[in-house]
Amino acid sequence: MKLYSKPLEKYSGFDSFQESFVAELDRFIDAFLDDRIRQASEQFMVDGYALLKEYCGRPGKRIRPLLVMLSYMGYGGRKKRMGDVLSVAASVELMHSFLLIQDDIIDRADSRRGGPSLHVAAEKDFSGISASSNSASDAALILADVVMSCALELAGSTAFGVKVMNRFWKVFSSTYELTAWGQIRDIMYSMPTTLDIDEDVPEQISRLKTAHYTIRSPLHMGYVLSGGSSEKEVGRIHDFGMNLGMAFQLRDDIIGVFGRQDETGKPVDSDLREGKYTLLVQYAYRLLDKNRKDRLEKMFCAEEKTEHEIEELRSLISTSGALQRARDDLARYTGVAERELQSLSVSQRCMEFLQEIVVMISRY
């Protein structure tokens, strides 16, 4: 029996739905990439697809595609289109892999989701032929384009009507355009020359790169695919999604400095080493006295940081009151999201599952 022949009410809880969904999604993506491997006409293509299959198949929560499916089902999407929605959900997950590959190259990160970053893994198959020291990274960058092409094929291979797909493509394209602008902003202000910046850059990055991309847009996609077209409901999805998305990013910022590697899927000091100008860092800079503020700025903006300096940065952020401020704002955003959730016109079971997601994000 196919997983999505079951309505939400048949699952014992959100964890059960998530576990079943992730298993089905991963099988779908594996089968799709296996088919690509079989069709590849050259060995280097086989090698590239094999790298992508291993990378895309690494364990993860799959929150974005999960929200697409949950929204579709919660808004009463037709049962016979479940396979098509799964194809769109797989597209969204592949687009996430596409962005992670780019992100790791930009950040010069060595690991992702418990394994080597794709440009590191590509060293075996895509270096040694060229004299360029960047050949593996360059190949990984283009492999990201291959992933994106696969994602577009999956999203475009569904049997939804023209009107639905026209609305969907507008949401889909604007999602990744906004994410790209957020990434550019993130690049501009990673390891900045100064922290004395008047603009609310960290909040802007959080909204563009995370809130729209991780929560609001997947819910919006699922609503559109279900046939929904009410601008009022889209506005409600926006308000709920943006608040929960901001909470999601704040939680990620906290974990990125004070968490464990099994929570982040990458080294826990990477945000500080890369000089990610997050809300957490901005809070610390604004709360510290001048001497400690200058010390924070000097270490944070430095291109190289020692282990001792990383620990000192953690201490400054914690003792400044920034960690508590971030936790307070996390609670505020999830509180608003919880209230906004009640206005959504989704099924009661979907609302219960979304409430569990709110609670999950609020806990840190």
Query: In this predicted model, what pLDDT tens digit does every residue of 279-330 receive, in sequence order?
Result: 999 999 999 999 999 999 999 998 888 999 999 999 999 999 999 999 999 9
Listing DSSP states for 196-218 in one string gives: ---S-HHHHHIIIIIIIIIIIHH
3 state DSSP class of 131:
coil
Burial 131-141 (b: 16+ CB within 10 A, else e): eeeebbbbbbb
Whole-number Å distance between alpha carbons of 123 and 140: 9
Return the pLDDT at 190. Answer: 86
Whole-number Å distance between alpha carbons of 293 and 5: 57
Whole-number Å distance between alpha carbons of 351 and 364: 22
Alpha helices in the chain (DSSP H): 14-39, 43-56, 63-74, 82-107, 118-121, 123-126, 135-156, 162-188, 201-205, 217-225, 231-258, 261-264, 270-273, 279-287, 290-300, 307-319, 322-341, 348-362
Residue 5 has pLDDT above 70, yes or no: no
Query: In this predicted model, what pLDDT tens digit does every residue of 184-198 receive, in sequence order?
Result: 999 988 888 888 776
Burial 297-333 (b: 16+ CB within 10 A, else e): bebbeeeebeeebbeebbebbeebebbebbeebbeeb
Whole-number Å distance between alpha carbons of 145 and 139: 10
Backbone angles phi, psi at 159, to 5 degrees: -105, 20
Return the pLDDT at 4. Answer: 56
Residue 4 vs residue 211, higher pLDDT: 211
Q: Which of 202, 2, 195, 184 is nearest to 99 (CA)?
A: 184
Burial 338-363 (b: 16+ CB within 10 A, else e): bebbeebbbbebbeebbeebbebbbe
Q: What percent of the chain has pLDDT over 70?
A: 96
Non-local (6+) Cβ contacts of 41 within 8 A are none
Q: What is the mean pLDDT of residues 149-175?
A: 96
CB-CB contact of 201 with 189 (8 Å): yes
Backbone angles phi, psi at 111, to 5 degrees: -140, 160
> Could you tell me the CA-to-CA distances from 240 to 89, 234, 265, 339 in Å, in that order?
20, 10, 27, 8
Of these ranges, 16-25, 114-123, 163-172, the one predicted with the greatest mean pLDDT is 163-172
Average pLDDT, the chain: 91
Q: What is the mean pLDDT of residues 133-162?
A: 92
Backbone angles phi, psi at 127, to 5 degrees: -130, 165
Q: Which of 31-40, 88-97, 152-161, 185-194 has the lowest mean pLDDT?
A: 185-194
Q: What confidence category does residue 3 fall into, taking pLDDT thresholds of 50, 70 and 90?
A: low
- Domains in the chain: ranges and CATH: 11-159 (1.10.600.10), 160-364 (1.10.600.10)
> Tokens 């289109």 map to which residue?
81
Whole-number Å distance between alpha carbons of 353 and 74: 10
Whole-number Å distance between alpha carbons of 246 and 275: 20
Whole-number Å distance between alpha carbons of 112 and 67: 22
